[in-house]
Amino acid sequence: MRITALAGGVGGARFLNGLLHHLEAHGEVPEVTVIANTGDDITLYGLRVSPDVDTLLYTLGGAVSESQGWGRADDSQRVQGELAAYGAVPQWFTLGDLDLGTHIVRSQWLGQGQSLSEVTGRLAERWGLPGRGVRLLPMTDTPVETHVVISDDDGQRAVHFQEWWVRLRASVPAERFVVAGLDRAAAAPGVLDALRTADVILLPPSNPVVSIGIILGVPGVRDALRGSAAPVVGVSPLIAGAPVRGHADACLAALGLPSTTAAVAGLYADFLDGWLVDPADAGVRLERARVEVHAEPLLMTDVAAASRIAGAALELAARLSGPRSAG
Amino acid sequence: MRITALAGGVGGARFLNGLLHHLEAHGEVPEVTVIANTGDDITLYGLRVSPDVDTLLYTLGGAVSESQGWGRADDSQRVQGELAAYGAVPQWFTLGDLDLGTHIVRSQWLGQGQSLSEVTGRLAERWGLPGRGVRLLPMTDTPVETHVVISDDDGQRAVHFQEWWVRLRASVPAERFVVAGLDRAAAAPGVLDALRTADVILLPPSNPVVSIGIILGVPGVRDALRGSAAPVVGVSPLIAGAPVRGHADACLAALGLPSTTAAVAGLYADFLDGWLVDPADAGVRLERARVEVHAEPLLMTDVAAASRIAGAALELAARLSGPRSAG
Tell me the average pLDDT across A2-11: 97
Which pTM was predicted? 0.93
Band (pLDDT 50/70/90 cuts) for residue A152 is confident
| Start-to-end Cα distance in chain A | 21
Instruction: Tell me which residue of A128, A126, A105 sits closest to A116, measured CA to CA.
Output: A105
Is the model's pLDDT at B325 over the cut of 60?
A: no
**pLDDT at residue number A73:** 98
Distances (CA, A) of B279 to A292, B12, B233, B238, B298: 93, 20, 17, 11, 8
**Helix, coil or strand: residue A105:** helix
| Start-to-end Cα distance in chain B | 21
Question: Residues with Cβ < 8 Å from A145, sequence gap 6 or more?
Answer: A39, A41, A42, A160, A161, A179, A180, A181
CB contact under 8 A, B83 and A98: no
Is the model's pLDDT at A140 over the cut of 80?
A: yes
At B96-128, the pLDDT tens digits run 999 999 999 999 999 999 999 999 999 999 999
Q: Give the burial class of B199: count Cβ atoms within 10 A of its Cβ; 0-12 exposed, 13-18 middle, 19 or more buried.
A: middle
The dihedral region occupied by B239, where left means phi > 0, alpha psi between -120 and 50, and beta the remainder, is beta
**pLDDT at residue number B154:** 85
Band (pLDDT 50/70/90 cuts) for residue A154 is confident
Q: Are B137 and B190 in contact (CB under 8 A)?
A: yes
Distance CA A314, CA A23 (A): 10
At A214-251, the pLDDT tens digits run 999 999 999 999 999 999 999 999 999 999 888 999 99
Among B54, B77, B86, B122, the residue to mutate for chain A (most A Cβ within 10 A): B86
**Which residues in chain A have their CB less than 8 angstroms from residue B97's CB?**
76, 78-79, 97
Is the model's pLDDT at B324 over the cut of 70?
A: no
Instruction: Tell me which residue of A316, A318, A313, A315 sits closest to A5, measured CA to CA.
Output: A313
**Which residues in chain B have their CB less than 8 angstroms from residue A88's CB?**
104-105, 108
Is the model's pLDDT at B36 over the cut of 50?
A: yes
Distance CA B141, CA B190 (A): 11
What single-letter amino acid sits at A226? R
CB atoms within 10 A of CB B28: 13
Distance CA B47, CA B70 (A): 18
Q: Are A112 and B133 in contact (CB under 8 A)?
A: no
Distance CA B312, CA B169 (A): 32
CB contact under 8 A, A108 and B78: no
CB contact under 8 A, B85 and A45: no
CB contact under 8 A, A104 and B45: yes
Distance CA A201, CA A314 (A): 9
Residues in chain B, total: 327
CB contact under 8 A, A82 and B88: no
At A158-211, the pLDDT tens digits run 999 999 999 999 999 999 999 999 999 999 999 999 999 999 999 999 999 999
Is the model's pLDDT at B326 over the cut of 60?
A: no
**pLDDT at residue number A326:** 37
Band (pLDDT 50/70/90 cuts) for residue B322 is low
Chain A: which residues have CB within 8 Å of chain B? 45-47, 76, 78-83, 85-88, 97-98, 100-102, 104-105, 107-108, 111, 122-123, 126
Beta strand pairing call for B145-152 and B155-160: antiparallel
At B85-95, the pLDDT tens digits run 999 999 999 89
Distance CA B56, CA B47 (A): 19
**pLDDT at residue number B188:** 98
At B135-156, the pLDDT tens digits run 999 999 999 999 999 998 889 9
Q: Above pLDDT 70, what percent of chain A?
A: 98
This model of the complex carries an ipTM of 0.91
Instruction: Tell me which residue of A7, A253, A41 sits closest to A160, measured CA to CA.
Output: A41
- Domains of chain B (ranges; CATH) run 3-64+115-142+184-326 (3.40.50.10680), 145-182 (no CATH)
CB atoms within 10 A of CB A53: 29
Q: Are A33 and A130 in contact (CB under 8 A)?
A: no
Band (pLDDT 50/70/90 cuts) for residue A153 is confident
Q: How far is A85 from chain B (nearest CA, A)?
A: 7
**pLDDT at residue number A322:** 67
| Average pLDDT of chain B, as a whole number | 95
Side-chain half-sphere exposure of B327, counting CA atoms within 13 A: 7
At B263-273, the pLDDT tens digits run 999 999 999 99
Instruction: Tell me which residue of B311, B235, B219 sits closest to B273, measured CA to CA.
Output: B235
